[in-house]
A and B are shown apart, each in its own frame.
Chain A
Amino acid sequence: MSKLRLLFVKEAQASYISHLDLMRTFQRVFPRTELEIKHTQGFHPHPILSIVLPLPVGQQSDCELLDFEVTQESNGRGIAEKLNTGMPTGIRVLDCYAATRPIRELAFLQADLELLYDGGVPQGAVEALQALFAREEIIIEKRTKRKEQAQVDIAPMLRSVDLHAGDKAIYATVVVQAQNPGLNPQLLEKAIAAHLPALTPDFVRVRRRRIMDENGEDFR
């Protein structure tokens, strides 16, 4: 019996695969390995997989994690290559290894954002956004699980924001709290729309770059 972890990329077309569909995709590629995944009990047994911090649909990521248990002893070597022979475009397993660190130690994630302005970046936008994200309190409206609108302050979950302007885009590197509660970096767009409506970008691309522990070291 071993607990294993996958590190994988989700990008391009695959960024539109929903969480549930992604689980199904992984379930289907596991038979390509010799691993015997632990299955649920019952008439429709299916492999027990758990994707850590599911990525919102439409975002890309270099650092997704998936945990699973196998009935054999395994250190995961050679598994990534086998899984990659059956993947849709845009999903690539980088590594498979023994899951030693508990997920609760995953504290921060770093993401790159592209805020696109089709008509060019407005004058002074970078400074204005910098000031916005430096505020002590940044309230946005968010829909709760019970579908009610709620006011949420995202400032405490936002660790750092670095901005620089390009021609038709502002590039942002942000570090946010990963869980309990975590912040979806896409919500920065909402914050802009709420507080600096004139600077609302035409489109925002998000790509997760790193996942980190409390000390800012890579979490694996």
Chain B
Amino acid sequence: MDQRLERILPRVQKPARYVGGEYNAVIKDKKDVDTRVAFCFPDTYEIGMSNLGMRILYGVMNAMDGVWCQRVFAPWGDMEEEMRRANMPLFALESGDPVADFDIVAFSVGYEMAFTAILNMLDLAGIPLHSADRPHLTPLVIAGGTAMYNAEPVADFIDIVSLGEGEDVTPELINLHRKARREGWDKHRFLVAAAQLDGIYVPSLYDVSYHDDGTVAAITPRDGAPERVVKRIVHDLDKSFFPTRTIVPSTEIVQDRVMLELFRGCIRGCRFCQAGYVYRPVRNRSRDLCAQYCLEACNDSGYQEVTLSSLSTSDYPPLTELCDNLEDFCQQRHVNLSLPSLRADNFSMSLMQRLAKGRKTGLTFAPEAGTQRLRDVINKNVTLDDLLQSCRTAFAGGYSAVKLYFMLGLPTETDEDVLGIADVAARVMHAWRESAANKQRGVRITVSTSYFVPKPHTAFQWEPQITREEYERRVKLLREAINTKTVTYSWHDGDTSFLEAVLARGDRRLGKVLECAWRKGAKLDAWEDYFSLARWQEAFAECGVDPAFYAYRRREKDEIMPWHMISSGVTENYLWREYENAKAGVTTPDCRTHCNGCGANRLVGGKCDV
């Protein structure tokens, strides 16, 4: 072990996060390795190791001959301070080698609030922040993940963006990089060639010009780069890699269990949901394979908890049969299955009760909006009756805690909709009085609201976010309307969601703001411990950038979005149609009821197999 590290570790919290050596961590002989990839997650170990996508790509890359993929996470503040003091550069967990020595430095970016962590990690690694300041082929800095559907705010720092699911394109890119190194290409030649791979976006090959009003005037690709980069997906989940022998952290992480992915995509079409659009179309993994992976993963890891993870798990067609198949194994091995999200319908409830086997922890529902009118606007096809029926079933079955998630600031929201949330809570309370199995235990109803952030590639990408003042007014309105002691109300911090809204639909001019905020100390903005809007406000002011332009402005139909060169497969026409439907309060059926022609079918060669 590095002597500097050995001396630092006794002084930092949770040192096990920084040493590697976990069961199934991949160790290779350097003699057999010609390509080293530092797989960086711009957040802590506990969050990063809970990411299934990262585990999949780690497996895919390490399955390649000559490639050694190693993990790197953002150090917590105490560790960062110690590392900087000891002059210790950012290192990878598997070998302890400095990140700057790797051939490829790959970031998995799931959310905008991680942008400054990318800069901080590059800096800790001693790698120049700007792509333009890295003239050589190595280290090549690449990024993927959901937040890269609009990579413009980090376009100055990243050499290559990989769009969509990385299972196929990552090996293609690695092999091209290998060839480039072998044949002595310069970086530019490599970037131009990489841009020819499907799903690869090379920011530096696109010129962006702006109108006087600040909107994008034109996006011009150079050197043969495609006008539009379409995301990559895996066509057949049954043939794609699934990590059943995956790293078992020696210290507790957020998702400390087997994550069993049943399907990708979502049939529902909630209009605010970026994941729902960008992961289209739905692709199911076959039931038998899911069952087999579940057994293999439990046997190898020894976990006794399995999450059936997908965007809307109860939409998996053979879900009941899968649970039937697994029942004996689970019984015998004391393994619990759990569903991460619950739809408020009868099917989900009966399944949930079965899986819970007497463990009556809290239930969580996400009606998202307080009135049927607004739920129709966002296409969240859940009715109050469904919700109340589910709650009655739960209370009758002995549950005594329900969490309800809503958003404030959804398009067209009125005070009536806001007050509707209090009404929903009151009715849930009433449902408890009617049906509780044991009233002595009392009931806990928690209402949580978040501050709606319009995201790119959704039907609401044209919409303004409501102002922070207005958000706070609505919070207050709701707070005053919730007056029973049994209902607890908690709401998200407005500052974070405001910044998220700026970054989510930002353009390249935010690069200098990011850098400025980072220099002022922004690094783990996803954490309350570190986030400060004041710091960002200073950075915006110093850079002469108005954050309201990005968060609060309504876009016109013909405006060129900064992420126009990126396609999730869903057409802009479809999104606009959904936007119009939203404003008219017209709902759109799910993909299983019938195809609505979003365009994602072209990704799978014609017809979606929903």
Known: A21-B250, A24-B252. A87 touches B23 (CB 8 A): yes
- Give the Cβ gap from B371 to chain A, nearest Cβ, in Å: 37
- Give the Cβ gap from B300 to chain A, nearest Cβ, in Å: 8
Q: How far is the CA of A21 from the CA of B10 in the complex (A)?
A: 17
Is B239 part of the binding interface, using a Cβ–Cβ cutoff of 8 Å?
A: no
Pairwise interchain contact B7-A88, C-beta atoms closer than 8 A? no
- Give the Cβ gap from B352 to chain A, nearest Cβ, in Å: 15
Sort chain B's interface into a size bin. Answer: 20 to 34
- Give the Cβ gap from B1 to chain A, nearest Cβ, in Å: 7
Pairwise interchain contact B302-A27, C-beta atoms closer than 8 A? yes
Q: How far is the CA of A18 from the CA of B14 in the complex (A)?
A: 8
Interface residue tally for chain A (C-beta within 8 Å):
30
CB < 8 Å neighbour of A32 from B14, B22, B302, B358: B302
- Across the A-B interface, how many residue pairs have beta carbons closer than 8 Å? 72
Known: A27-B302, A31-B302, A44-B359. A86 touches B23 (CB 8 A): yes
Contacts of A39 in B (CB 8 A): 334
Contacts of A68 in B (CB 8 A): none
Pairwise interchain contact A58-B303, C-beta atoms closer than 8 A? no
CB < 8 Å neighbour of A31 from B7, B18, B23, B333: B333
Pairwise interchain contact A21-B248, C-beta atoms closer than 8 A? no
Chain A, Cβ-Cβ closest to B356 = A43
Contacts of A76 in B (CB 8 A): none
- Give the Cβ gap from A72 to chain B, nearest Cβ, in Å: 15
Is B66 part of the binding interface, using a Cβ–Cβ cutoff of 8 Å?
A: no
- Give the Cβ gap from B252 to chain A, nearest Cβ, in Å: 6
Among the 9-residue stretches A9-17, A119-127, A143-151, the one with 4 or more Cβ atoms under 8 Å from chain B is A9-17
Is B251 part of the binding interface, using a Cβ–Cβ cutoff of 8 Å?
A: yes
Contacts of A89 in B (CB 8 A): 20-22, 25
Pairwise interchain contact A28-B301, C-beta atoms closer than 8 A? yes
Pairwise interchain contact B250-A17, C-beta atoms closer than 8 A? yes
Known: A29-B302, A30-B302, A203-B7. A88 touches B252 (CB 8 A): no
- Give the Cβ gap from A26 to chain B, nearest Cβ, in Å: 9
Q: How far is the CA of A86 from the CA of B1 in the complex (A)?
A: 22
Q: How far is the CA of A14 from the CA of B16 in the complex (A)?
A: 8
Pairwise interchain contact B21-A28, C-beta atoms closer than 8 A? no
Q: How far is the CA of A28 from the CA of B300 in the complex (A)?
A: 9
Chain B, Cβ-Cβ closest to A186 = B10
Pairwise interchain contact B302-A90, C-beta atoms closer than 8 A? no
Pairwise interchain contact A45-B10, C-beta atoms closer than 8 A? no
Contacts of B350 in A (CB 8 A): none
Contacts of B123 in A (CB 8 A): none
Is B6 part of the binding interface, using a Cβ–Cβ cutoff of 8 Å?
A: yes
Q: How far is the CA of A216 from the CA of B333 in the complex (A)?
A: 42
Pairwise interchain contact B22-A203, C-beta atoms closer than 8 A? no
Contact with A along B299-340 (1 / 0, CB 8 A): 111111000000000000000000000000000011000000
Pairwise interchain contact B16-A18, C-beta atoms closer than 8 A? yes
Is A25 part of the binding interface, using a Cβ–Cβ cutoff of 8 Å?
A: yes
Is B384 part of the binding interface, using a Cβ–Cβ cutoff of 8 Å?
A: no
Is B237 part of the binding interface, using a Cβ–Cβ cutoff of 8 Å?
A: no
Pairwise interchain contact A25-B15, C-beta atoms closer than 8 A? no
Contacts of B251 in A (CB 8 A): 17-18, 21
Contact with A along B234-261 (1 / 0, CB 8 A): 0000000000000010111000100000
Q: How far is the CA of A87 from the CA of B302 in the complex (A)?
A: 11
Is A57 part of the binding interface, using a Cβ–Cβ cutoff of 8 Å?
A: yes
Known: A16-B9, A21-B16. A88 touches B334 (CB 8 A): no
Q: How far is the CA of A25 from the CA of B16 in the complex (A)?
A: 13
Pairwise interchain contact B252-A13, C-beta atoms closer than 8 A? no
Contacts of B300 in A (CB 8 A): 86
Give A19-43 interface residues, CB cut-off 8 Å to B.
20-21, 24-25, 27-32, 39, 43
Give B1-55 interface residues, CB cut-off 8 Å to A.
1, 6-7, 9-10, 14-16, 18-23, 25
Contacts of A29 in B (CB 8 A): 302
Pairwise interchain contact B302-A12, C-beta atoms closer than 8 A? no
Contacts of B10 in A (CB 8 A): 57-58
Pairwise interchain contact A13-B23, C-beta atoms closer than 8 A? no
- Give the Cβ gap from B441 to chain A, nearest Cβ, in Å: 15
Contacts of B334 in A (CB 8 A): 39, 45
Q: How far is the CA of A28 from the CA of B23 in the complex (A)?
A: 11
Contacts of A14 in B (CB 8 A): 21, 250
Pairwise interchain contact B301-A13, C-beta atoms closer than 8 A? no
Give A186-213 interface residues, CB cut-off 8 Å to B.
202-203
- Give the Cβ gap from A74 to chain B, nearest Cβ, in Å: 19
Known: A28-B301, A44-B359, A86-B302. A13 touches B19 (CB 8 A): yes
Q: How far is the CA of A89 from the CA of B25 in the complex (A)?
A: 9
Pairwise interchain contact A13-B302, C-beta atoms closer than 8 A? no
Chain B, Cβ-Cβ closest to A21 = B251
Pairwise interchain contact A88-B15, C-beta atoms closer than 8 A? no
Contacts of B21 in A (CB 8 A): 12-14, 88-90
Known: A86-B302, A90-B21. A43 touches B16 (CB 8 A): no
- Give the Cβ gap from A117 to chain B, nearest Cβ, in Å: 13
Contacts of B15 in A (CB 8 A): 16, 57-58
Chain B, Cβ-Cβ closest to A89 = B21
Q: How far is the CA of A29 from the CA of B303 in the complex (A)?
A: 9
Chain A, Cβ-Cβ closest to B3 = A203
Considering the complex of A and B, which 8 residue pairs feature the smallest CB-CB distances, nearest first?
A28-B302, A13-B21, A89-B21, A13-B19, A43-B359, A16-B15, A16-B16, A88-B250
